[in-house]
Amino acid sequence: MIPLSPERTTSFIQEPDIGAKRYFLWTVGCQMNEAESAKAGAILRNAGFQPARREDDADVIIVNSCVVRQQAEDKVAGKVGALARLKRANPDLKIAVTGCMVTGQEAKLKERFPHVDLFYGPSEFERLAELSPELAEVDVDLAELPHYYEDTDSDETGVSAFVPIIYGCNFVCSYCIVPYRRGREISRPFDEIVNEVREMASRGVKEVTLLGQTVNAYGHDLPGDTELSDLLIAVNEVDGIERIRFLTSHPKYFTDRLIDTMAQCEKVCEHVNLPVQAGDNEVLRRMRRTYTVEHYRDRIQRIRDTIPGVTLSTDIIVGFPGETAEQFEGTMKLLEDLRFEKVHQAMYSPRPGTLSARWEDEVPADEKRRRHQAIEDLQTRVSAELNEQYEGKVLEVLVDGKQRGRWRGRSRGNTLVFFDAPGNWLGETVNVRITEPMTWYLIGEVEHEPARV
Ligand code: SAH
Ligand code: SF4
Q: Mean of the per-residue pLDDT values for the chain?
A: 92
Q: Is the CB of 166 under 6 A from ligand 2?
A: no
Same domain, 33 and 129: yes
Separation of CA 425 from chain center? 25
Report pTM: 0.92
| Backbone phi and psi for residue 450, each to the nearest 5 degrees, phi listed first | -70, 150
Among 2-16, 107-121, 406-420, which stretch is predicted with the lowest mean pLDDT? 2-16
Number of separate domains in the chain:
4
Same domain, yes or no, for 384 and 431?
no
Task: Report residue 154's pLDDT band, with 50, 70 and 90 as the boundaries.
Answer: very low
The DSSP code sequence of 257-287 is HHHHHHHH-TTB-SEEE---B-S-HHHHHHT
Q: Which of 94, 120, 144 is the last residue of a domain?
A: 144
Answer yes or no: is 154 within a domain.
no
Whether residue 265 is found in the same domain as residue 278: no
Ligand 1: residue whose CA is nearest its atom 3: 1
CATH number at residue 317: 3.30.750.200
Q: How many CB atoms lie within 10 A of CB 440?
A: 11
Is residue 439 in some structural domain?
Answer: yes
Domain for residue 227, yes or no? yes
Q: Which of 155-169, 180-194, 284-298, 299-313 comes out lowest in average pLDDT?
A: 155-169
281 φ, ψ (degrees, to nearest 5) = -65, -35
Rounded-to-integer distance, Cα 11 and Cα 73, Å: 24
Give the SS3 label for residue 21.
coil
Q: Kindly state whether residues 295 and 279 are assigned to the same domain.
A: yes
Query: What CATH number is attached to the domain comprising 401?
Result: 2.40.50.140
- Other Cβ atoms within 10 Å of 10 Cβ, number: 23
**Of all atoms in ligand 1, which is nearest to the CA of residue 350?**
22
What pLDDT, on the 0 to 100 scale, is given for residue 387?
Answer: 97
Q: Which pLDDT value is given to residue 195?
A: 96
* Three-class DSSP category at 162: strand
Write the residue with the smallest CA distance to atom 9 of ligand 1: 3
Query: If pLDDT is split at 50, 70 and 90, which confidence band does 8 have?
Result: low
Boundary residue ending a domain (119, 144, 169) = 144
Q: Domain check: are 14 and 47 in the same one? A: yes
Q: Is 140 in the pocket of ligand 2 (CB under 6 A)?
A: no
DSSP states of 175-242: T--HHHHH-S-EEPPHHHHHHHHHHHHHTT--EEEEE-TTGGGTTTTSSTT--HHHHHHHHHT-TT--
Please tell me the distance between residue 211's alpha carbon and the centre of ligand 1 in angstroms. Answer: 15
* Span from the CA of 248 to the centroid of ligand 1 (angstroms): 11
Nearest ligand to residue 316 Cα: 1
Whether the per-residue pLDDT at 412 is higher than 60: the answer is yes
Q: Does 274 sit in the ligand 2 pocket, CB within 6 Å?
A: no
Q: Helix, strand, or coil here: 302?
A: helix
Domain match, 320 and 252 both: no
Look at residue 153 and tell me if it is in a domain. Answer: no
| Least distant ligand from the CA of 248 | 1
Taking the CA of 350 as reference, the closest ligand is 1
Mean pLDDT on 370-395: 97
Judgement on whether residues 299 and 375 belong to the same structural domain of the protein:
yes
In a domain, 151, yes or no: no
Whether 16 shows a pLDDT value over 60: the answer reads: no
Q: Quick one: average pLDDT of 371-377? A: 98
- Rounded distance between C-alpha atoms, residue 243 and residue 268, angstroms: 6
Specify the CATH number for the domain of residue 123.
3.40.50.12160
| Domain extent at residue 182 | 159-269
Are residues 284 and 192 located together in one domain of the fold?
A: no
Where do the DSSP E strands lie in 290-393? 311-318, 342-347
pLDDT at 152: 36
Give the β-pairing of 406-411 and 394-403.
antiparallel
138 in Cβ contact with 384 (< 8 Å)? no
Q: Quote the CA–CA distance of 285 and 369 in Å, as a whole number.
A: 23
Same-domain pairing of 316 and 280: yes
Check: CB of residue 230 under 8 Å from CB of residue 258.
no
Is residue 244 pLDDT above 90, yes or no? yes
Percent of the chain with pLDDT over 70: 91
Q: Which of 100, 127, 102 is nearest to 33 (CA)?
A: 100
Q: What is the CATH number of the domain that holds 243?
A: 3.30.750.210
pLDDT at position 129: 92
Is 123 a residue whose pLDDT tops 70?
yes
Residue 1 Cβ < 6 Å to ligand 1: yes
416 and 399 together in one domain = yes
Domain contains 315: yes
Task: Report how far residue 177's alpha carbon sits from residue 165's, in angstroms, rounded to the nearest whole number.
Answer: 20
Whether residues 384 and 303 share a domain: the answer is yes
Residue 335 resides in a domain:
yes
**Domain limit, last residue, from 144, 171, 189:** 144
What average pLDDT score do residues 7-23 get?
Answer: 65
Largest Cα span, the chain: 63
Residue 74, in any domain of the structure: yes
Whether residue 264 sits in one domain with residue 246: yes
pLDDT for the residue numbered 151: 41
Cα of 287 to ligand 1 centre, how many Å?
Answer: 11
Mutate to test the pocket of ligand 2, among 170, 178, 182, 314 (most ligand atoms within 8 A of CB): 178
- Residue 159: per-residue pLDDT: 94
